[in-house]
Amino acid sequence: MDWQKGERSENVEVDSGSGGSRFGGGRGLGLGGIVILAILGLVFFKDPTALLGQVDNGGQVAAPSGQPADVDPQTKDFVSAILGSTEKTWGDIFAAHGRQYVDPKLDLFSGGVDTACGAASTAVGPFYCPGDQKVYLDVAFFQELENRFHASGDFARAYVIAHEVGHHVQNLLGIFDQVEQARRRGAPMEGADGLSVRQELQADCFAGVWAYHSQQRLQWLQPGDIEAALNAASKIGDDALQQQAQGRVVPDSFTHGTSAQRVKWFRAGFESGDIASCNTFAGQP
């Protein structure tokens, strides 16, 4: 991937470090704290205890310790180029539909970070917080992507960023609100047919739409790049991760979709370049 061709974004921030904040104000966690944990889990579609770190003996939730992110110039330049290309792509698509695209910020952090959605640790992986319209990316994740998931290459890393930006697009389109309303009506979040899976697969499809339009504009993909993105998508499917972690697959606890589904929906976006092809909420995901 000739990522140097990408437009540079001015919305990449290097985190100065965070930590030490606590939820609970010196009292036990209580019902309010439990509600906060539940909301955070739904927002991130992750285990809330991984997001917030450990509950101490006093029942307080301690924010994970953060430190100033040590970002090498090339990594920041790469992230800026990918984010800039998403800004151009989605700016054009929104304009074509008579809407204005609001650029998200991207925060590069190390260890832990405070967000408008709560305090998150590096265990969360990359995520998007609708509360502050920011994508959060731990600087060590790219290395983990290669070492743990065996997904290497610049375009695999770019896919991860584009997926999180896809959640920002969902937020701007009101999909986050629609999912929340459906959840309140009793629609299940987890499970192979749950809303969480459908929302994550749509973000994969939106990443494919970005890949299509950025390639049309920049001609920056090289042989093997699409395969690298598809490989990354396949390595982080719920079934693959569960098999790796516990030796068995539990569809009832799916939150992101299977490897095959993630590949399928990225392809749908990339082959069509049309957000209309990304309706993962209709029919079987």
- 21 in a structural domain: no
Beta bridge partners of 70: none
Is 251 inside any structural domain?
A: yes
Is 209 a member of any domain?
yes
Per the structure, how many domains does the chain have? Answer: 1
Residue 58 confidence (pLDDT) above 90: no
- The answer to the question of residue 91 being in a domain is yes
The residue ranking higher by pLDDT, 165 or 122, is 165
Does residue 13 register a pLDDT over 80? yes
Q: Distance between CA 278 and CA 273 in Å, rounded? A: 10
pLDDT for residue 29: 30
- What pLDDT was estimated at residue 125? 79
DSSP state of 224: T
Mean pLDDT taken over the chain: 78
Using alpha carbons only, what angle is made at residue 75 by residues 149 and 218, rounded to the nearest 5 degrees? Answer: 90
Query: Is the CB of residue 15 less than 8 Å from the CB of residue 113?
Result: yes
Q: Which two tokens stand for residue 10?
A: 């001015």
- Domain enclosing residue 81, as ranges: 3-15+64-277
Residue 285 has a pLDDT of 78
What's the token pair of residue 182? 């459906």
Residue closest to 9 by CA, chosen among 101, 102, 85: 85
Q: Would you say the pTM of this structure is higher than 0.75? A: yes
| CA 78 to mean position of chain CA atoms | 17
Asked whether residue 38 is assigned to any structural domain, the reply reads no
Mean pLDDT calculated for residue range 236-259: 58
Query: Which pLDDT does position 224 carry in this prediction?
Result: 85
CA separation for the pair 10, 285 (Å, rounded): 35
Q: Is residue 57 part of a domain?
A: no
Query: Is 37 a domain residue?
Result: no
User: Could you tell me if residue 42 is inside a domain?
Assistant: no
More confident residue, 259 or 27: 259
